[in-house]
Every structure is written in structure tokens, then in C-alpha cells.
Amino acid sequence: MADESRTGRPSDVQPSPPEDGRVGTSAAEPRAREASVDDPTPLGAAPSTVARDQPEAQRATAAQHWAELSERRRNQILIGVFAMFVLLYPLLDRAFGWQRMGSMNPILIFVLLALGLNIVVGFAGLLDLGYAAFFAIGGYTVAFLTAPQSPLVQAGIQADFWIALPISFVVAATFGFILGAPTLRLRGDYLAIVTLAFGEIVPQAIRNLEWLTNGTKGMNPIGRPHLGEIELLASDQIPWYYLIVAVSALSVFIILRLQNSRLGRAWMAMREDEIAAASMGIDLVRTKLLAFGLGASFSGFGGALYASMLQFIGPDQFQFDVSILLLAMVILGGIGNIWGVLFGGLVMGAFNFIWVESAAGFVRGLSATPGLGFLAIVDLNNSKLMLFGLALVLMMLLRPEGIFPSAQRKAELRGAKPATATTVAGVQESLHDARA
Amino acid sequence: MTWYETAIQILLIGLANGAIIALVALGYTLVYGIIELINFAHGDVFMLGTMMSLTMMTWVPSLLGVRRASQIPEPLIPLLVIGTLLVAMVACALLNMTIERLAYRPLRRAPRLAPLISAIGVSFILVNLGLHWKGASPVDFPSPHPSLNTDIFRDILRITTPIFFTVKDLFVILLAAPLMIGLSLFVTRTRLGKAMRATAQDREAAAMMGIDINQTIALTFLLGGALAGAAGLIFGLYNNTAWYLQGFRGGLLAFTAAVLGGVGNLQGAFLGGLLIGVIAAASDFLFDPRWTQAVVFGMLILILVFKPTGLLGEATPERA
């Protein structure tokens, strides 16, 4: 690793190297940037807080000690700290009086969805702009099986939440295959538009098929999960929190196994170069189809949990901006890197569900200050879309690989193969025939 | 109404709507033809065109001391409409060119999904601008003259027929047609148009022939934006409403039209726009207006799956 140059001479070690601040400088120093990504300071809060009161030399040894750990070991520690935080969050929330449990649950469900979208966008490199449609399908599957307005339930077919959950997983995957089968031969940007159109059709159909879905009035109440005799009530957030964490952890485990499997390697090979992957014997259509279907299936989990937690489902919960929020989560954290997506998902989720309101209050407070009265017209709650949009544009311009990129994806997006961009392989489509 | 009267009525409504769709679709197709980018923000430039026109149509009458556009002195009305058209066209053209400069040009050598994601981001920013500008609910767009709603067949030609064809419908077609013909002539007959075609065909070779690629691409965005601005005004005059979300939906309709005609092909966009207008009108009649969007988007999927080259387009191989 590039860290060796630093650990070799302890006297040169900077106490707090602020290297991660230079986001998106020239592409000429990939090694240095790699070092900044692995740098202990952004996340390794534990060693640096210990060292804060100690003399410089000893602080350096703490950082040095951290740097000497193998990358695998460091990642294990970081994941351990992260897992502890997630598991203990309800206690922390209560201890510090944050009152954020009600926001944490939707955030985690969105993170779960982002993980599913990451399979399609990050692993397989297929841009899906209609992921909210699969989310809706997952949620409505549970609603059909449990809510009193559903024709199925009225016909006497009612299922328990625990049965409906895997069914929604399967139904969402099936729709993924159904949409994927005819469209996956399309080129990247056309595929994006097809998924976008699908994402528009599904809420519209839900809105219009009133006999089936109860239209815009939606369905409620939706079946709740229960453990033995105890039902999870909508009012009690903490059991929900642990249920969502458990499903997310299971999903992360499955996705990690998928990533390192034969299929996961095939996805990445295909993403990097379809022709090379095909000539190595990878069945492109089958591989893409599996990415689409499996990616969609995790939104089945998300939809089921979301509908059951809110006890209500309606077509307006699944608009286009949901798809874009999820895409922003994946892109911000680091396309293709599960830990990056977890991070990006939490940040964007917290931003969407918590910070916008607090920041809006802050700005309103500022506007009372003399000279800053113009700030009164800025309503951040109404500016969410603009902030998402800015996040997408700035990420693409400054750091297209995300904050914590996967190594391969970074190489690809940083234009490691400039040849493909300049030597146009095929004949470009013409506005008109210039020979005429 | 007999079946052929219904058919004629659908055609007439479809032609007027289709002319607006075609104007927006031309912007998609121009940009796609030259840099192979689905300019996702284009629909929202069109939306801001409507907003800009709305501001002009309410601000200018207030300068003259009257409340509504229809109350200003009769001879000034054409001037107001033409002035608004020019302002909207120039504003949208400059906006579109600025977007290209800031959000797309730095990504010209990036993988093709990077500018697309950037375009989605720009689209969200513009939607939010529209939301701040005119609020969350649809706003009334003032009609400049009451005679726009006169029925041509019954009130002017004195023919007894159940078919509706107002002055407004004719007006839309008369405004849109010269713009489209002008664009077509510009691209086929002028030096700059030739530079655009050359750049679309082979950017590197065009650069070697001394064509300023950046300038040519900026010009393409300028033209597309101007057409979107014009479409914005016409949309407002025709539907008498302006809404910050009209760009997203309208943009998808127009993109469908561009794909139907063969993306990258000017005549294709024109033809596709008219066809989509007629199909949407037919769907309004046959099913239910609530289903029209789903019908059009379903068609978009079917076209892309079965004939991605569209009616008049040529095959484009994927490039990484």
C-alpha cells in the first residue's frame, strides 16, 4: 500500500493529515488518493480521540499503529464499530434524547433499497431509473395479501406477514425478470429510459386500477409481523428498528456473498467490458437478467417492511423522486461498494428525513438576523430536489466514483481507458446524411 | 358524431398537441444526434420557457396599467405575443447553453452514463427553480385575446359540424411550422448547419477539418433551447396553464416522439411528435385520459424493444 512511505519514517508522520479534503483533484495521483481513502482519520474516531490529549510523538504512534494494521484488520474494526453503533442506536437515542427513532426506520429501509439498487447499478452497471416501481410492487404484494380492501383478502385468501414477506421478495424478483427479459439487450441509456417509463407506468396503473388497489385512497391497515403472541405495533418504533436491522443485515450478508460469487464476478466483468466478458464465456443476457431480478427482489423486502411499518400504502409513496433519491444514495457513497452505499444511504437518508428540517429551521433563524433577511425566502423543505440535483451533478463532475469507491469502479470512471472515449468505435448516428 | 367525424376530431387535436411535442422533441434529437446524450433536463427547459412567457404575459400588461393581457390595446397584442416569444426563446437558449457548458462539457470524455446522471441532476435543479418561481400548484396562463377560442368551422366558415377546431389550434400549428422549417433549413443549408452535421457524424474528423467542436455543440444546445422556449410559450397559450411538473411529463412525451421517429433524425422528430400527439388524443377518446400517459410510456418501451432505431433512424452501435 501507499501507506508504507508514511510508516517508514515516523518523524514525518503528520498528526492529522487532511488529505481527504482535496476531493477530485487531477487524476494524476491515484496512489495518493488511495491512501486518503484508507486514511484512518475520517472514520477511525477511536484512536484519534484517545490520542487527543497526548504529546505529539505518542499521537503519531497511535496513528502509526493504526496504519500498521492490515487493511483487512482495519476494515474489520471499522465494521465492528459501525455494527455496534447500529445495534446500540435505540439506547443512544434514548440516552441523549435525540427523538429520531421515527426517522431512523424509513432511513434504514431506504438504505436497504439502495443496497438492492446497487446490485443493478453498481455491480452490473445497468442504470435503473425506475427502481421505485419494484419498491411499490413489493409493498402492494403485502397489501394484497393482508389489507382488508384487497380483492384477495375479500375472497378469503389472507396471509400472515411472515408468509407475505418472502412472497413479496419473489413477486418483485418476478417483475424484475419480466421487465428485464425484453429490455436488457438495449444499450445503456435506452435501458435507463425504459426503466424510467416503467417507473412511471406502475404508480399510474396503481392509481387507475381502483377495483384492485383502491386507487389514491390506498390500503390500510396492512398486516403486522408478530413474534408468538406479540404484534409489532406501529406506535412502538424499537422492535421495528431491530426487525429492519435484521432484514438489512441478512441482505448485506447475501449481497456480500453474491459479490464474491461466480455471478458477482461475472457482473463486474460485464460492467467493465461486455465484449471481453462475452468472449470469456459469460452469458450476457442471463447475467444481466439475474442482476435485474435479484436487484428488484431486495426492494420486495423494502416495500413489505415499509408498507407494514406505516400500516398504509398508496401510489404517491412511489414517485420518481424516490428512484432518484435511491440513485443519489448509491452514487454518493461509491457505486459498487456495499460499505460505501451503506454510508451514502445513511447520509442521504438522514439528509432527506432529518437534516433538511433542522437546516430549514436554522436558516429561518438566521433570516431574523439584520442583513440576512433575504434568507427568509429560502425554504429548504422546498429545495430538496435542488439539493439532490446538485449532489448528482457535483458528484459526477468532481468525484464520479463516489466517496468510498470500489477500486475497479474507480479505475473505470476515472477514465483509465481513454481510448474508448476518443476512438469512436462505431459510426455515429447522423443528424442528416452529410453526403447528400 | 359519426366515426369519421371522431377520427377527424382526434387528428385535429393530435396535430395541435403534436406540433408542441415535436418542437420539444427536436431539442432532444439535435442533442442526441451530436453528443449521444439523452438531455434529461430538456423537458424542464421547456417548462421554464412556459414560466418565462407567463411572467412576460403578466408583467407587460401590468406596466401598461391593465390587469390582464386581453385588456391591452388591440394593436399591441401581436407585439406582446411576438415579444414574449423572442424573450422565451432567447432565455431558454442561453439557459440550455449554460447547462451544457457547466454540466455536460466537462464530462464529454467520461463513460456515457456519467453525463446522463448529471443531466438528471440538472433536471431536478430546474424543476425546483420552477417550483420556487410559480409555486406548487398549476398557474393560469392568460389568454391574450378572446377570439383565440372562436370555433373556425361554425363561427367563421358557418359549417354545421360537431367537430371543434378553434383559432387557437390553428395558431399553434402556424407558430410551430415556421420554426421547424427554419431549423431544417438552417441545418441543411448553412455553413454552421453543415458543421453540426459533420460533428454529429465524426467529431474527430470534423475537428481536423477546422470545425470548432465546442462552439458547434454549444450552438446545438442554443438551437434546442430556443425551440423549447418557443414550445413553452405555445404550450401556455394552448393549454392556458403552467405547472412546474409539466416539463417532466412533457419531456418524456417528447422523448418518446424523438425515439419513435428515430432519435437523431430531424424529420423523424417532427413525424414522431405529430404521431404521439394523435396517439395521445386517440387514447383520450378510446380509453380514458387517465390512461394516456401509461399508453404513451408503454409505447416507448415497445418501440425501444422492437425497433430501437425508430421509424426513420439508422442503427447506432453501442460505444462504451
Give the chain B residue whose CA is nearest to the CA of A395.
B118
Contacts of A414 in chain B (CB under 8 A): none
Predicted local distance difference test score (pLDDT) of residue A30? 44
Question: Could you tell me the CA-to-CA distances from A421 to A406, A418, B37, B204, B207 in Å, in that order?
Answer: 21, 5, 14, 11, 15
Q: Judge contact between A113 and A135, C-beta under 8 A.
A: yes
Give the tens place of pLDDT for each residue, A256-314: 899 889 999 999 888 888 889 989 999 988 898 999 899 998 888 899 989 988 888 88
What is the rounded CA–CA span in Å between residue A160 and residue A115?
A: 26
Q: Is the pTM of this model over 0.90?
A: no
Give the tens place of pLDDT for each residue, A358-370: 776 676 676 666 6
Terminal Cα-to-Cα distance of chain A (whole angstroms): 58
Q: Judge contact between A108 and A38, C-beta under 8 A.
A: no
Tell me, what amino acid is at A87? L
Contacts of A382 in chain B (CB under 8 A): 128, 131-132, 136
Contacts of B188 in chain A (CB under 8 A): 432
Contact B38 A425 (CB under 8 A): no
DSSP secondary structure string, B219-281? HHHHHHHHHHHHHHHHHHHHHSEE-TTHHHHHHHHHHHHHHHH-TT-HHHHHHHHHHHHHHHH
Give the tens place of pLDDT for each residue, B151-190: 777 777 777 777 778 888 888 888 888 998 999 899 889 9
Query: Over its length of 436 residues, how does chain A's per-residue pLDDT go in tens digits?
Result: 344 444 444 444 444 444 443 333 344 444 444 444 444 444 434 444 444 455 555 666 777 777 777 777 777 787 888 888 888 787 887 777 777 777 888 899 999 999 999 999 888 888 888 899 999 999 999 998 888 888 887 877 778 888 888 899 999 999 999 888 888 777 777 888 888 889 989 998 998 888 888 888 888 788 888 776 667 666 677 888 888 898 889 989 999 899 889 999 999 888 888 889 989 999 988 898 999 899 998 888 899 989 988 888 888 888 888 898 898 888 887 777 888 888 888 888 888 877 776 776 676 676 666 666 555 555 666 777 888 888 889 888 888 777 776 666 666 655 544 433 333 333 333 333 333 3
Task: Enter the CATH code of domain B3-306.
Answer: 1.10.3470
**What's the mean pLDDT in B44-54?**
94
What is the rounded CA–CA span in Å between residue B190 and residue B182?
A: 11
Let me know if domain A78-414 sits in CATH 1.10.3470: yes
Which of B136, B187, B293 faces A200 most closely, judged by CB atoms?
A: B293
Q: Judge contact between A340 and A402, C-beta under 8 A.
A: yes
Contacts of A427 in chain B (CB under 8 A): 201, 316-317
Residue bearing cell 432532444: B28
Predicted local distance difference test score (pLDDT) of residue A377? 58
Which of B162-198 are b and which e, b meaning 16 or more Cβ less than 10 Å from the residue's Cβ? ebebbbbbebbeebbeebbeebbeebeeeeebbbbbb
Contacts of B283 in chain A (CB under 8 A): none
Q: E-strand spans in chain B?
A: 139-140, 241-242
- DSSP code, position A55: -
What is the rounded CA–CA span in Å between residue A352 and residue A346?
A: 10
Q: What would the grid cell of residue A419 be? A: 481510448
Which of B38, B200, B300 faces A428 most closely, judged by CB atoms?
A: B200
Give residue A345's Cα distance to chain centre.
5
Q: What would the grid cell of residue A203 be? A: 404508480
What is the rounded CA–CA span in Å between residue B299 and residue B305?
A: 10
Name the 3-class secondary structure at A272.
helix
- DSSP code, position A219: B
What is the rounded CA–CA span in Å between residue A187 and residue A14?
A: 48
Residue A383 near chain B (CB below 8 Å): yes
Residue bearing cell 462475452: A278
Contact A428 B115 (CB under 8 A): no
What is the rounded CA–CA span in Å between residue B199 and residue B213?
A: 7
Q: What would the grid cell of residue A409 be? A: 469502479
Burial environment of residue A236 by CB neighbours within 10 A (0 to 12, 13 to 18, 19 or more): exposed
Do you find a cis peptide bond into A239, omega within 30 degrees of 0? no
Name the 3-class secondary structure at A70.
coil
Helix, strand, coil percentages in chain B from 3-state DSSP, rounded to 5: 75, 0, 20
What is the rounded CA–CA span in Å between residue B42 and residue B235?
A: 15
Contact B118 A396 (CB under 8 A): yes
What is the rounded CA–CA span in Å between residue A75 and residue A97?
A: 30
Q: Judge contact between A241 and A89, C-beta under 8 A.
A: yes
Domain range list for chain A? 4-14+27-70, 78-414
